[in-house]
Amino acid sequence: MTSQIASARAHTNIALIKYWGKKDQQLMLPMNGSLSLTLDHFYTDTTVEFNSIYTEDTFYLDQKKIETTKITPFLDLVRQMNPQAGFARIYSSNHVPNAAGLASSASAFAALALAASTAAGLNLTRRELSRLARRGSGSATRSIYGGFVEWQPGTSDLDSYAIPIDEKVDWDIEMLAVIIDRQQKKISSRTGMQRVVTTSPYYPAWITSTNQDLSAAIQAVKEHNLQLLGQLAESNALRMHALNLSARPPFSYFEPASLVAMEIIEKLRSEGICCYYTLDAGPNVKVICSKAESPQIIRALSTAFTPEQIVEAFPGPGVKLIEC
């Protein structure tokens, strides 16, 4: 191989039923299944060029060279499938608010999986891409697909992958992201998960209840039941954050403004508006609602947050190749 190049675009996804904890750190196998919604507004574009003249892998993010320990081990997985693929240059641009808790690693590794495998001359199925993306970031396994996606936890590298539940979402649902803090979080997701798995006395109950949530949420998606889906997503998120408070030592991703946004959504709901919140490993709040009612919700949130802090997003597509 002398030179091969390919570019891909992948969108972020937000987990509605969350995984929180891994049973295999190397293979990135989750303790439980999860359900997510891929969003149209936030995405990563990545170009990979394998060239025989390169002597090492180099990675550029938003035109800046970045030193990272994650890229080469991931590309090694691609090189295992095609040993002729040498070192690579990776150019990536993130169209995701920095550190906004909007799963930029999911879109990043999903895009890298497709671009790298294509540039290496591989023709992977979407299931194979999902397995490959998982090795970079667990949530990336879901960004291979659009719309609603389930990640099946599996028991090995071969059977842990995502499957589409509703890729072409044709019913009235959207998500509002309330960006509260763009700073690097003090406790990484990986560290938080490990601490909870090993120290929370409530972790076994989390697995049981989340498996029940997952089955019910998949059915809610199939029935286009926004209210039930929102109820399940909100309660699942709160239980995840309760796990963090039960860990030793305890920790929390909430900030005062998180509680303000949550209270606004609860008040709107008491007034008859169908809206629910979810939070990942960070303080930023995502609101599940209908497009028809989102203007009212945005107005209410605007009493406490600036327009720049409120981002509107809709169901988005799966990973795809783009022009270099």
Structural domains of the chain in order of their starting residue, each with its CATH number: 3-170+317-322 (3.30.230.10), 174-313 (3.30.70.890)
* pLDDT tens figures, 248-259: 999 999 999 999
Q: Looking at the predicted structure, is the pLDDT value of residue 97 above 90? A: no
d(CA 76, CA 103) in angstroms, rounded, equals 23
By C-alpha distance, which of 200, 206, 179, 193 is closest to 304?
Answer: 179
According to DSSP, residue 178 is labeled E
| 136-172: burial string, b at 16+ Cβ within 10 Å, e else | bbbbbbbbbbbbbbbbebbeebeebbbebbbeebeee
Instruction: Report pLDDT for 324.
Output: 75
Sign, CA torsion 233/236/237/238: positive
* pLDDT tens figures, 222-250: 999 999 999 999 999 999 999 999 999 99
Average pLDDT, the chain: 95
Report the SS3 class of residue 110.
helix
Residue carrying the six token digits 């303080």: 283
Encoded tokens for 17: 């039923």
- Please state the pTM of the whole predicted model: 0.95
Window from 83-97, 139-153, 211-225 with minimum mean pLDDT: 83-97
Instruction: Report pLDDT for 186.
Output: 80
pLDDT band at 96 (very low <50, low <70, confident <90, very high): confident
d(CA 324, CA 314) in angstroms, rounded, equals 26
